[in-house]
Structure 1
Amino acid sequence: MYQELGERLFSKNLRIGLGGTEINDDIAQTALNEPENFWYFNNGVTFISDGISRTLRGGAGADHVALTVSNGSIVNGAQTTSTLGELLELEGGKDALSRLKCLVRVLEIPNDETEFSTSVTRFNNSQNGIGVKDFVSLDPFQQELRRGLDREFAISYIIRSGEDYGDNNIPTVSLQEATVALVACGTSVDNAVRAKDKISALWRDTNSEPYLSIFDKSRLTPLALYKAVEANRAIERFLKTRMMTHSFMSQIADYDESLDQGVADRERAVATHGNRLFSFYVLTGVNIWREEQSISEFKGKLKDFDLSDPFENFVETVFDRYGSSYKAPLFKNRTKCANILSALPSINLGIS
């Protein structure tokens, strides 16, 4: 039918075939390389028609039924149908299709039931979006970290969207917070920029980089993860306090001409948009890996470090290099972020 009718087969659908998208490529690869698994991996197709007649081939006990469909349209499954249709032109495509099974629902909806027909189309194409992050929870290593944080520190590790954070008295760590913290304590500027620009890029494939370097199962332990999170939280607390202080200073600036409002505005802009890069600047390479060093010892050393001078140097360097640049896109530019870091003195937190 798709070969004969083309896009007219999707006349009542929200979309026609989108061509070579990432998802459609996955559909094609499954069909070609694992046709026997297509039934399990694909959601199938929903087809509506205002009239259907059926004829049993070979009598009442026959397995095959001939359907005659009038005024029909696919309302969900345009990508599946168009992608499979294109396989007919590929080498091995016909053979794969002959071994493939796909669920198809054929719904008869009378012509005067237009409102119901519209609702079928709408709700078959409505779902809560599945983000890249949601697939990370399938990684067994994330489950291992979750059990370890709960067992060793009574910390709830939230790795799935919609999970209940539970009792407010129970400490929690989210997957996003863990990722940002590990990136800040890592050595990759690229990852630090991605954490600000598009963090989902760090989770896109749990079987390749950069995910495997961030969540390095060969050495990442629940203790190391907890240390990274606490270190990054210390940076975030400092920036929040700094911004609150400047907010208060702004309120009284009109009454005291000696206060430099420009300094406050510059620091606020950098604290808001450059928080990920500043965390990376301060924490990059920090030793979170010593298992003999307890979390309380680690946190104690963090308290002894004053971040005021590093932050002021950071702000000054940002404005010296890129004072006229808008700060939001600035900290999403890998080259510019690397230039900022190269102009800064190295920092030693004294945590080893």
Structure 2
Amino acid sequence: MGYVRKAIEERFTGLIDMTDKARAQEPKQREAFLSRGLAALAVQIEHPCPDRVAALSVFDGEDDRGLDSIAVEVRSPQPRICLVQAKWHEQGKGAFGESEVDRMFRGLSMMLDRQYSKFNSRFQLFVPDIERAYESGTPKITLVLALLRTAPLDPGIRDLIEEKCAEFNQVEEMVDYKVLDLRDFHRAILGDAAAPKIDTKVRLDGFIQESTPYKALYGTMTAPDLADLYSEHRRGLFARNIRDNLDLTDVNIKIRNTLLEQPEHFWYFSNGITMLCETIRPIGKSVPGKVGDFQLTGVSVVNGAQTVSAIHRAYTANPDSAQFGRVMVRLISLEDCPPGFGDQVTTTTNTQNPIEERDFKSLDQAQVQLRDDFALMLHLSYVIKRGEALPEPDHGCSMMEAAEALAATSPNAELAAAAKRDQNLAGLWEDDTYKEIFGSSPNAYRVWRSVQLLRAVRARLKELRDGLLWRADAAAFHGDLLVTHIVYRSLNTRSIEDPDFYWPNELKKVPELVRDALAWSLSAIDQEYGKSSHIIAAVRNTERIERVVRAALRGLDSGKDAPPLGDDYQVTEVETRGRQVNAVTTLITNKRITEGAVLEFRPYSKPERRDMAEWLAADAKRSLASWSNDNGRYPLQWHADGEWYSPSGLAKEMRQQASGVTSSVQGTLRWFVPGEGSLDDLALAARLEQGLNVEDEPAGD
């Protein structure tokens, strides 16, 4: 406890924002600081970063929605979002109950539904990164419980967390959780020196020894032996690795599934494991080519962390099946190696690009023929190999884009769901699916026109998203292939493979069809699965997407007008509704807001987030204003310049300063009393308490 407390004080004093606790008593201030420091430490464990960056990751406070800090990793092949809930306890008994679980998962749902303005201003700094993570592919999300305790998590609470994770993982594992306890923080603070040097015994079957230029052994270990090794030493086993075991990566999941379903093939499919050791000594007589036992000191897995972790999980889940798995293991002794050699091994073994299934498909004669047809018949480029330069959009496409477009326009809607489940479209390259998408002799005209349709749909959805909020925004983003499928089935595509067919006539219909298809799809999702259901599940689950498609097509075929998107889903509708109430007059008359209260500005729409995020982050004062009940129509004193404004006037001024855009907006939707709601929310609540109709007052700010 002393080490952890001291580390938090030394690393984060003066860095973690404590302004919201300025009036709290000293013990409460200290407890809040230590809890926030624990959240920052958790971020550093999961995503190594400087102290200042970790401190900025903390948004604990009013409107944190049950979450305390965040880290977003966009540059990795698989985007990752880490969300932390931290509990400090002076006696090492940090509690975590049902209410904390419920709040944490409600906060996660809000984030997935893009209800960003529900979170406080410190969270807003990370919204651009979150949106970039979505745009890079469906991110893997880890919920980290940072609990200063040594006792294990209550089994009932663990079951509840796993049950809620399962609700998000109906299609595949998108959300997982991790518990960091006192031991984890202690080890992380002291670094490698905190964990005792790992000395262990291993058994290699059919081992071979290398002695020139440096000593090394390689052979086969059994899954049970590796599972036991991980069970005993856990994260300490990966001390020298570039990254810890990434339990949510698709590679890891495939490793586990192979071991459970085809354990006898595991040795052939696995790339193996590399361990660095300070020393390697034989135990007894060891004959190369036979079984050998070895005593290892200073062991660290530097390549294959995912394999080791996956073996442990698979063996724990089903030891009867996984016990037959074997894997190739390399042991490299560092005792006679030059300085830095171990680091070179670690870096080199972790930076080689793996071969993927799509790489094999690029050798398929059908793809080669398609490339030639694009060039000869369409005078376009068709790129089939990974790493080749992509053509400009008007000059062609890649095999990846073609596969995605053909999956969306296939008569089988399940293929659209399969394409959404993985950013590398891994499911589309499996032999049966690949053949269903491309066929034995793909037609170049069909492929190119399908790509054009997908691009047109995405362009229209991007336009619509600027005016959409929350679930509608999420549906427009995640539902691109769903909407493309519905639009395709609403067009005249009988002659799509005919060179003389004039495809632009059909593309002209796309903008109107996209909006109707989106409206019918969102209506179907809400009716079939409820307004609290997850949009991602609806577009990635094969059963759900089929039901949504059928319902949306029935709506389009009925000839009825598309159902209007809910008022809460459209920026213009909410803005109009907000102007029906003179919110400022209502709030001042009812003394609803305390004199001098500090309010937060939160961007409301996608264009605002795009135009203002960096500008707001550059100066914290820009997001803050103080309230006065004595200043009439201008109750907000902006901290950035000390001048008085109306909420809408200040929102307009801020947008103009940030981007040069001059637009009239409803400021009461953007200024929030932390922990209570927006000015619009508070004004409506005040009038409802009085039993008044919101239309009784004249329009105004």
CA distance in 1, matches of 2:477, 2:289: 65
Q: Shift of the alpha carbon at 1:116?
A: 6.5
1:165 maps to which of 390, 394, 398: 390
- Percentage of identical aligned residues: 16
The CA deviation at 1:238 is 5.0
Q: Could you say which residue in structure 2 is the equivalent of 1:310? A: 513
Where 1:343 maps in the other structure, the secondary structure is helix
Counterpart in 2 of 1:329?
535
Structure 1 segment 274-289 matched on structure 2, within 5 A = 274-284=479-489
Q: Measure, in 2, the Cα distance between the counterparts of 1:73 and 1:28.
A: 27
State the alpha-carbon separation in 2 of the partners of residues 144 and 307 from structure 1: 33
Cα gap change, 1:6/1:54 in structure 2, threshold over 3 Å: closer, same or farther?
Answer: closer
Instruction: Give the conservation status (yes or no) of the 8 Å contact 2:359–2:385.
Output: yes
Question: Is this contact kept in 2: 1:52–1:108, CA < 8 A?
Answer: no
Q: Helix, strand or coil for the counterpart of 2:503?
A: helix
Question: Does the residue aligned with 2:333 lie in a helix, a strand or coil?
Answer: strand
Q: Which structure's relative contact order is higher, taking Cα pairs within 8 Å and 6+ residues apart?
A: 1
Q: Deviations over 1:189-243 (max 9, x none)?
A: 333344445465662661234x4422322x5333332232233334445556xx2
Distance in 2 between residues matched to 1:68 and 1:226, nearest whole Å: 59
The change in CA–CA distance for 1:82 and 1:200 in structure 2 (over 3 A counts) is: closer
CA deviations 1:83-133 (Å, max 9, x no partner) are 5997xx869x78x97xxx9352322247997x865x3685367347759xx
Distance 1:46 1:202, change over 3 A: closer
In structure 2, C-alpha distance between the alignment counterparts of 1:17 and 1:319, rounded to whole Å: 34
Q: Which secondary structure does the structure 2 equivalent of 1:192 belong to?
A: helix
Closer, same or farther: CA 318–123 of 1 in aligned 2, 3 Å? same
Higher strand share: 2
Partners of 1:194 and 1:63 in 2: CA distance: 45
3-state SS, counterpart of residue 449 of structure 2: helix
Contact 1:191 1:202 survives alignment (8 Å): no
Instruction: State the Cα distance separating 1:327 from its structure 2 match.
Output: 10
Q: In the alignment, does 2:279 pair up with 1:51?
A: yes
Rounded to whole Å, the distance in 2 between the matches of 1:136 and 1:337 is 28
Secondary structure at the counterpart of residue 498 of structure 2: coil
Query: In structure 2, what residue type is equivalent to 1:299?
Result: W
Match of 1:299 in 2: 503
2:408 to 174, 184, 190: 184
Q: SS of the residue aligned with 1:164? A: coil
CA distance in 2, matches of 1:299, 1:206: 31
The TM-score, its normalising length taken from structure 2, stands at 0.34
8 A Cα contact 1:148 1:222, kept in partner: no
Counterpart residue identity of residue 214, structure 1: I
CA displacement at 1:283 relative to structure 2: 0.9
Q: Which amino acid aligns with 2:552?
A: I
Figure out how many residues of one structure are paired with residues of the other and give that number. Answer: 304
> Which deviations, in whole Å up to 9, do the C-alpha atoms of 1:325-352 show, x marking residues without a partner?
48982763524454233222289xxxxx
Relative to structure 1, the CA distance from residue 287 to residue 180 in structure 2 (aligned partners, 3 Å threshold; closer, same or farther) is: farther
Deviations 1:300-330, CA, capped at 9 Å, x for gaps: 5435x43454345435545766499489827
Aligned to 1:214: 437
Change in Cα spacing, 1:185 to 1:24, as seen in structure 2 (3 Å) is closer
Instruction: Check 1:49–1:225 CA distance in 2 against 1; reply closer, same or farther (3 A cut).
Output: same
1:82 and 1:271 map into 2 onto residues whose CA distance is 35
* 1:104 counterpart letter in structure 2: R
What SS is found at the alignment partner of 2:390?
coil
Structure 1 gaps of 5+ residues are 248-263, 348-352
For the 8 Å contact 1:182–1:225, the answer to whether it is kept is yes
State the match for 2:599 in structure 1: none
Determine the C-alpha separation between the residues in 2 that align with 1:311 and 1:169: 21
Show CA shifts across 1:262-320 (max 9, x none): xx548x946545433332222128676859721x53435435x4345434543554576
**Residue 22 of structure 1: aligned partner:** 254
- The alignment partner of 1:163 has SS state of coil
Contact 2:487 2:517 in 1 (8 A): no
Q: Partners of 2:309 and 2:514 in 1: how far apart?
A: 56
Return closer, same or farther for 1:162/1:326 CA change in 2, 3 Å cut-off: farther
Distance change >3 Å, CA 74–CA 229, structure 1 → 2: same
Match of 1:106 in 2: 332
Contact 2:461 2:476 in 1 (8 A): yes
Counterpart amino acid of residue 344 in structure 1: L
Separation in 2, partners of 1:193, 1:25: 21
How is 1:257-276 mapped onto 2 (pairs within 5 angstroms)?
265=468, 269=473, 272-276=477-481
Q: TM-score, normalised by structure 1?
A: 0.60
Which residue among 136, 144, 153 is the counterpart of 2:374?
153
Counterpart contact for 2:282–2:294, Cα < 8 Å? yes
State the AA in 2 paired with 1:221: N
Rounded Cα–Cα distance in structure 2 between residues aligned with 1:45 and 1:144? 35
1:343 maps to 555
In the other structure, the counterpart of 2:455 is 233
User: What displacement does 1:152 show?
Assistant: 2.0
Residues 195 and 169 (structure 1), Cα distance of their counterparts in 2 relative to 1, 3 Å cut = closer
Which residue of structure 2 lines up, in the alignment, with residue 144 of structure 1?
A: 365
Matching residue's letter, 2:535: P
**Gap change, CA 1:124 and 1:24, over 3 Å in 2:** farther
> In the alignment, is residue 71 of structure 1 matched against residue 297 of structure 2?
yes
What residue identity is the alignment partner of 2:334?
A: E
